[in-house]
């Protein structure tokens, strides 16, 4: 059982790696595509917006869908969809077709986290869930680490269409491995018939709507780093494509450590007798404070210091997110955690859409300085919401769910 659960989480880890390879291919190739398709900052922000719009809508659908289909079929459906969408990027002939491909990618990629969170809830006990979430979510950092050198090399060798096609094919390979290796945990096989709760009924629960609101202000900073950081290096720090491939991965390497440190810190607090509520909220707050380092990142003249500060800020995000990923399984039955995380992630997509458009406008009319300052301060709002609105992180009574499901 223990060996199998680590195999399962490793599969979710590699799915997340591939998810970010597909996602980051655009940000790495953006300098070339912007020149070829003559895209301004505002046009580029709209293409990112198309991805986030689809991602937001799909989060509200993918979680309940995965809960209904089960982890095996639901995960397979999502990665198959987004892999094909990634390959379709290779056939883009302008901003409109590129934006449509990004929209299709967002529809599929949204399912990765509800599926992985559901897998964690099925296979891991409470004290190990934040660590397990940190492990699979570490795939986002690894994918982002691999993307700059790999995509830049493929792009410079065979052209940008080959870069998108190659990343898409990796997902189809994972799909074959997943289908033959996935196992249903014994605990899931003996559970009673799951209680079906409509998504909007779940959204009325205090934890769900408050976590959704917190993610509006927490996640946009991460979207800024993954979609705009290569652009920042090129336009503000005058990096070449080769230099972006050589150095652009460093903050994502550091961000990977945040996934593990966040899980380890909350796990240590729980073992020392602190409640799950205090352990999760305190850990998220500590890591949100690290995200303030994005402010000096844009103010220092030495690019090495700038990259170092960005790296700390990104590790702050991943450490906090590892704990937020674990909270649905702290509160809800296993068959509902995918739905809960999917609904909450709609806040992530909504915030990403709004602040991406703002980013494009501010960079185009002013500079990157107010953007970096804003994304350093914005997550503090999420911390306030977490402490004041989210309530305690303890298992919800089944009777409360049943009452919420009554007409």
Q: Where are the domains of the chain?
A: 2-404
| pLDDT confidence bin for 299, thresholds 50/70/90 | very high
In the predicted model, what is the mean pLDDT of residues 271-279?
90
| Choice among 78-82, 151-155, 368-372 with the minimum mean pLDDT | 151-155
* pLDDT at residue 199 tops 70: no
Mean pLDDT for 135-140 is: 82
**pLDDT of 192 above 50:** no
pLDDT for the residue numbered 305: 93
pLDDT reported for residue 130: 74
pLDDT at 72 over 60: yes
Please, which residues have CB within 8 angstroms of residue 333's CB and are 6 or more apart in sequence?
A: 194, 195, 398, 401
What's the pLDDT at 98? 92
Task: Name the architecture of domain 2-404.
Answer: Up-down Bundle (1.20)
pLDDT of residue 398: 55
Residue 190: predicted pLDDT = 41
pLDDT in tens, 349-392: 888 888 988 998 898 888 899 999 999 999 999 999 999 998 88
The answer, yes or no, to whether residue 15 has pLDDT greater than 90, is: yes
Which pLDDT band, with edges at 50, 70 and 90, does 193 fall under? very low
| Residue 368, φ and ψ in degrees, nearest 5 | -80, -15
pLDDT attached to residue 311: 94
- Averaged pLDDT, 115-120: 87
Q: Calculate the average pLDDT of the chain.
A: 85
The more confidently predicted of residues 129 and 197 is: 129
With CA atoms as reference, report the closest residue to 227 among 14, 31, 17, 12.
Answer: 31
Whether residue 258 is predicted with pLDDT greater than 60 in this model: the reply is yes
* Angle, alpha carbons 263-322-68 (nearest 5°): 120
């Amino acid at each position: 059982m223990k060996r199998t659960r680590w195999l399962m989480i490793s599969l979710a880890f590699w799915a997340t790696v591939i998810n970010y390879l597909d996602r980051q291919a655009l940000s790495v190739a953006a300098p070339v595509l912007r020149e070829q398709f003559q895209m301004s900052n505002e046009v580029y922000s709209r293409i990112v917006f198309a991805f986030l719009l689809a991602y937001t809508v799909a989060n509200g659908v993918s979680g309940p869908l995965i809960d209904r289909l089960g982890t095996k079929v639901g995960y397979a459906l999502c990665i198959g969809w987004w892999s094909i969408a990634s390959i379709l990027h290779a056939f883009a002939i302008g901003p409109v077709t590129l934006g449509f491909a990004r929209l299709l990618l967002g529809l599929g990629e949204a399912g990765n986290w509800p599926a992985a969170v559901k897998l964690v809830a099925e296979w891991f006990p409470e004290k190990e869930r934040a660590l397990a979430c940190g492990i699979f979510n570490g795939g986002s950092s690894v994918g982002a680490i691999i993307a700059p050198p790999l995509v830049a090399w493929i792009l410079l060798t065979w052209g940008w269409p080959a870069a998108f096609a190659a990343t898409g094919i990796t997902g189809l390979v994972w799909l074959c491995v997943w289908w033959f290796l996935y196992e249903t945990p014994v605990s899931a096989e003996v559970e009673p018939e799951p209680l079906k709760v409509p998504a909007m009924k779940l959204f009325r629960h205090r934890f769900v709507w408050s976590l959704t609101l917190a993610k509006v202000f927490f996640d946009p900073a991460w979207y800024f780093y993954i979609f705009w950081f290569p652009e920042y290096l090129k336009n503000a720090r005058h990096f070449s494509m080769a230099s972006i491939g050589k150095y652009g991965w460093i903050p994502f390497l550091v961000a990977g450590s945040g996934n593990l440190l966040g899980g380890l810190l909350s796990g240590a607090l729980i073992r020392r007798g602190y409640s799950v509520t205090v352990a999760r909220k305190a850990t998220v707050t500590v890591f949100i404070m690290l995200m303030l380092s994005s402010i000096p990142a844009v103010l220092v003249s030495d690019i090495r210091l700038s990259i170092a500060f960005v790296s700390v800020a990104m590790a702050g995000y991943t450490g906090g997110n590892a704990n937020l990923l674990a909270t649905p399984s702290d509160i809800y039955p296993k068959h509902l955690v995918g739905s809960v995380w999917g609904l909450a992630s709609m806040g992530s997509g909504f915030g990403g859409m709004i602040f991406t458009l703002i980013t494009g406008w501010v960079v185009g009319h002013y500079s990157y300085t107010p953007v970096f300052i804003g994304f350093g301060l914005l997550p503090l709002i999420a911390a306030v919401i977490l402490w004041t609105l989210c309530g305690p992180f303890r298992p919800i009574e089944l009777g409360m769910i049943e009452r919420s499901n009554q007409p």
